[in-house]
């Protein structure tokens, strides 16, 4: 590979362990720490990579899933990663599906949890009440079944993010892109083994969305987790990892 300057998306990422590569993709409000338990568990047997998607760095007119899918493609190419397992939560799952359609020869397996791509309750089309801390806390709490997970630090992080108008506009642009980029007519072409792990109390991508994914993806299996919202790997990390471990080793 020819020598190039370090691209934006390579400025911060996690790369731990050795073995077959698993690439983890966070959601719209997610961050690398969402995957802490997954990294700790699977870096013992796999190479686990988490790119930080440059949601707030891309130009506003490029705040769409197509651009983030191109960035993922460039990231994998830069690191010479092939035959990868892609694991994505929420918007990250949507990007994983788009990449599998774009470069099917480079995807070994898919693991989706609370993925967008068919239907999701997101920020909507209007500018949210960014100055209303209680509103932001309610929106963050909407993500989880166990409200104890919703710490002040987590709410503060989201609140601080949306105080920036440029950042909020990018978030809204990506949310609209996810709603508009419906994959119901195309994902039947994804034939790689796919594991769907879903919270039964997911209010952002409800359980019926998981059932629809399961119907449309020809080589998929579905695992529901009770007492669980939109971010299963955070609320039930041990059970989530067990499901993934079984899927990867069979």
Contact in structure between 250 and 44 (CB atoms under 8 Å): no
28-56 in b/e form (b: 16+ CB < 10 A) is bbbebebbeebbebbbeebbbbbbbbbbe
Residues whose CB falls within 8 Å of the CB of residue 135, separated by 6 or more in sequence, listed in order: 128, 129
Alpha-carbon distance 30 to 32, whole Å? Answer: 7
Give domain status of residue 157, yes or no: no
Q: Given this model, what pLDDT does residue 234 score?
A: 93
63 inside domain: yes
Residue 167 in any domain: the answer is no
The count of domains in the chain is: 1
Q: What is the mean pLDDT of residues 94-112?
A: 98
CA–CA dist 80, 202 (Å, integer): 35
pLDDT tens digit string along 36-85?
A: 999 999 999 999 999 988 888 888 888 899 999 999 999 999 999 999 99
Looking at the domain assignment, is residue 213 inside a domain?
Answer: yes
Give, in order, the Cα–Cα distances in Å from 62 to each of 56, 153, 177, 189.
11, 30, 10, 26
pLDDT tens column, 182-207? 999 999 999 999 999 999 999 999 99
Cα–Cα distance, 129 to 135 (Å, whole number): 7
- Residue 47's CATH number: 3.40.50.1820
Percent of the chain with pLDDT over 90: 62
Mean pLDDT confidence for 119-145: 76
Q: Please state whether 17 falls in left (phi above 0), alpha (psi between -120 and 50) or beta.
A: left
Residue 3 confidence class, pLDDT cut points 50, 70, 90: very low
């Amino acid at each position: 590979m020819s020598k190039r300057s370090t691209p934006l998306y390579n400025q911060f990422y996690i790369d731990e362990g050795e073995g077959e590569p698993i690439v983890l993709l966070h959601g719209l409000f997610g961050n690398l720490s969402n995957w802490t338990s997954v990294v700790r568990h699977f870096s013992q047997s796999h190479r686990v990579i988490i790119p930080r998607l440059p949601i707030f760095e891309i130009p506003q007119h490029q705040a769409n899933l197509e651009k983030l899918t191109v960035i993922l493609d460039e990231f994998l190419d830069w690191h010479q990663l092939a035959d990868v397992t892609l694991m994505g939560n929420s918007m990250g799952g949507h990007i994983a599906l788009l990449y599998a359609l774009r470069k099917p020869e480079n995807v070994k397996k898919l693991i989706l949890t609370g993925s967008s791509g068919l239907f999701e309750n997101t920020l909507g089309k209007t500018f949210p009440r960014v100055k209303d801390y209680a509103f932001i806390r309610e929106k963050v709490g909407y993500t989880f079944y166990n409200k104890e997970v919703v710490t002040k630090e987590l709410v503060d992080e989201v609140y601080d993010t949306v105080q920036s108008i440029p950042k909020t506009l990018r978030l809204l642009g990506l949310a609209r892109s996810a709603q508009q980029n419906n994959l119901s007519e195309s994902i039947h072409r994804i034939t790689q083994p796919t594991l769907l792990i879903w919270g039964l109390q997911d209010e952002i991508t409800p359980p019926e969305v998981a059932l629809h994914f399961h119907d449309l993806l020809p080589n998929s299996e579905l695992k529901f987790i009770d007492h669980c919202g939109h971010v299963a790997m955070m609320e039930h990390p041990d059970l989530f990892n067990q499901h993934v471990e079984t899927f990867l080793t069979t």
